[in-house]
Amino acid sequence: MGDIEGSPGSSMHGVTGKEQTFAFSVASPTVPTDTTANFALPVDSEHKAKVFKIFSFANPHMRTFHLSWISFFTCFVSTFAAAPLVPIIRDNLNLTKSDIGNAGVASVSGSIFSRLVMGAVCDLLGPRYGCAFLIMLSAPTVFCMSFVNSAGGYLAVRFMIGFSLATFVSCQYWMSTMFNSKIIGLVNGTAAGWGNMGGGATQLVMPLVYELIKRAGSTSFSAWRIAFFFPGWLHVITGIMVLTLGQDLPDGNLGALKKKGDVAKDKFSKVLWYAVTNYRTWIFVLLYGYSMGVELSTDNVIAEYFYDRFDLKLHTAGVIAATFGMANLVARPFGGYSSDVAARYFGMRGRLWVLWILQTLGGVFCIWLGRANSLPLAVTAMILFSLGAQAACGATFGIIPFISRRSLGIISGLTGAGGNFGSGLTQLVFFSSSSLSTAAGLSWMGVMICGCTLPVALVYFPQWGGMFFPASKDIVKSTEESYYASEWSEEEKQKGMHQQSLKFAENSRSERGNRIAAAPTPPSTTPNRV
């Protein structure tokens, strides 16, 4: 089979893009069920689940799903826990606007590095311990918030808490060990979306916890510090749940994930090379920085914005800010779904157009948000902006699996890092200086979203076309096989290392849209070995 556990990109292997966003199961003839296994869900030959039953907690598959997304959710809660309390924190610590902005940048920057390391950690310790280690070792950083006395301390603690966002990697990795590759796209997408909701939930919960503590008799400057014990305990509790209830593999916990020795592991340097030299990678890194990136930035600034601009109470501002993040529940899957629907009729060109439309609309509503002078208009603009940006995130990952088959994991990782980088950059440029009001910052961020989404027009797949150009007429170049096989050198092709890519290429013919019947068979394709 040749799919090595833990090798770069292996968590996304098998994702063809053909699966509907709402495909909840894999039919039996497609992937044979192992009838000797005794699990609550039908499983394949590796004992990975073939069915995704959202509301089940059956051990081990669905339990893993829930532990995974809850741990990712917890880390989002703690990373953005300071955001709705900034109006109190800024008075207690005597912060200036640039202090607040820099801390916001720091909160999303740490995870750029921690996500890169997390893959290796999961390889070494397994996803269960990877997740537990990260969550429980970052719990002290959350508790540290109560010690903070200055702007520098505030920035340092937010930076350290931000490392915990690497649970995204352990989350996706863990689920790739539990779910069949044909439904892994949906499973991972749902987990990512529900995890992201933590950024919204925290805006709602932290002000409430703060109010409760104040009602119990604390001063405001103590209450916000005590409020941080809530995300801290969440870390500890979730970590213990992961350790006691979770397991690495469907068949139990192993000391080490065995590496299947049939096929030589792909060289990291090659995989990196093909990721980095594909121009589409960088276009999507930029784009994701302006869909996911602006979502993270907005999570950091929106509560304070509503509190200051419209004179709201802290928890009212929190409720409004929460709806921004909570829209992830439906918006992100909706983006993936629209991408799939467009692909059915127009193939990859449809996916590119859907992404451009969703992300640009998000940008337009962001411009409106900054300019809205009345509360109802601002809330409406914010909700529409959130739908646009988050749906664009979902639509982006509808396209990413097709950029490369060999380097898929690294490209996904780079794109994710681009999201955090974009967030840090927008916060630095638009929300850290007093010369630009937050309202103006939001509008300019919207303009930048629209501008940075334009490069999607440059994405061109010879076999499928781009936004403005149809597929190539060249008989060799216009095949999926030639595109995906071009990532392998002749030597590697001789060794047969590109077989998975060819299989993927065949499955990806659906990206032609309604023109599937017209695919010519190129003469030089290496015949598939049986």
Partner 1 sequence: MAARALLLASLVLSCFLLPACYGTVLFSSLQRTLEVTASPTSGQVLKGGVDKITVTWGLNQTVAAGTDSTYKTIKVKLCYAPISQVDRGWRKTVDNLKKDRTCQHKIVARPYNAANSTAQSHEWTVERDVPTATYFVRAYAYDADEKVVAYGQTTDARKTTNLFRVQAISGRHVTMDTCSICFSVFSVVSLFGFFYNEKRKAKRPQ
Distinct helix (H) and strand (E) counts, the chain = 21, 2
Taking 3-state DSSP, the helix, strand and coil percentages for the chain, each rounded to the nearest 5, stand at: 70, 0, 30
Cβ 379 vs Cβ 322: under 8 Å: no
Which residues within the stretch 28-87 sit at the binding site for partner 1 (CB under 8 A)? 87
For partner 1 (CB under 8 A), the number of binding residues is 52
Residue 389 token pair: 């940006």
Taking the complex as a whole, how short is the minimal distance between the CB of residue 471 and partner 1, in angstroms?
Answer: 35
Residue 501 token pair: 């890519």
Residue 245 token pair: 């209830």
Query: φ and ψ at 497, to 5 degrees?
Result: -70, -15
3-state SS of 216-267 is CCCCHHHHHHHHCHHHHHHHHHHHHHHHHHCCCECCECCCCCCCCCCCCCCC
Which residues within the stretch 422-451 sit at the binding site for partner 1 (CB under 8 A)? 434, 437-438
Residue 375 binds partner 1 (CB under 8 A): yes
Cβ 317 vs Cβ 84: under 8 Å: yes
Taking the complex as a whole, how short is the minimal distance between the CB of residue 98 and partner 1, in angstroms?
Answer: 6
Mask for 181-220, x = binds partner 1 (CB under 8 A): --------------------------------------xx
Taking the complex as a whole, how short is the minimal distance between the CB of residue 504 and partner 1, in angstroms?
Answer: 35
Residue 146 binds partner 1 (CB under 8 A): yes
The Cα-based distances of 369 to 83, 101, 289, 341, 382 in angstroms read: 19, 19, 19, 29, 6
Residue 418 token pair: 């681009």
Residue 236 token pair: 């500890």
Which residues are within 8 A (CB) of 79 and not within 5 positions of it... i.e. 6 or more apart? 107, 108, 111, 158, 161, 162, 164, 165, 199
Which residues within the stretch 148-177 sit at the binding site for partner 1 (CB under 8 A)? 149
Nearer to partner 1, 219 or 524 (CB): 219
Nearer to partner 1, 24 or 233 (CB): 233
Nearer to partner 1, 112 or 317 (CB): 317
Nearer to partner 1, 438 or 478 (CB): 438
Among 222, 486, 499, 525, indicate the residue that binds partner 1 (CB under 8 A).
222
Residue 329 binds partner 1 (CB under 8 A): no
Question: 28: exposed, middle or buried (C-beta count within 10 Å: 0-12, 13-18, 19+)?
Answer: exposed
CA torsion, ordered 353, 355, 356, 359, to nearest 10 deg? 160
Among 224, 274, 324, 356, indicate the residue that binds partner 1 (CB under 8 A).
224
Which residues within the stretch 384-413 sit at the binding site for partner 1 (CB under 8 A)? 384, 387
Cβ 198 vs Cβ 80: under 8 Å: yes
Nearer to partner 1, 375 or 519 (CB): 375
Nearer to partner 1, 236 or 450 (CB): 236
Nearer to partner 1, 143 or 483 (CB): 143
Residue 240 binds partner 1 (CB under 8 A): yes
Cβ 288 vs Cβ 415: under 8 Å: yes
Nearer to partner 1, 54 or 440 (CB): 440
Q: Which residues pair with 465 in a beta bridge?
A: 461
Q: Which residues pair with 49 in a beta bridge?
A: 43, 179
Nearer to partner 1, 59 or 316 (CB): 316
Which residues within the stretch 265-324 sit at the binding site for partner 1 (CB under 8 A)? 308, 310, 316, 320, 323
Among 96, 277, 494, 514, indicate the residue that binds partner 1 (CB under 8 A).
96
The residue whose two tokens read 């598939």 is 528
Residue 486 binds partner 1 (CB under 8 A): no
Q: Which residues pair with 466 in a beta bridge?
A: 460
Among 94, 489, 524, 528, indicate the residue that binds partner 1 (CB under 8 A).
94
Residues that bind partner 1 (CB under 8 A): 87, 90-92, 94, 96-98, 129, 132-133, 136-137, 139-140, 143-144, 146-147, 149, 219-222, 224-226, 229, 232-233, 235-236, 239-240, 243, 253, 255, 308, 310, 316, 320, 323, 375-376, 379-380, 383-384, 387, 434, 437-438
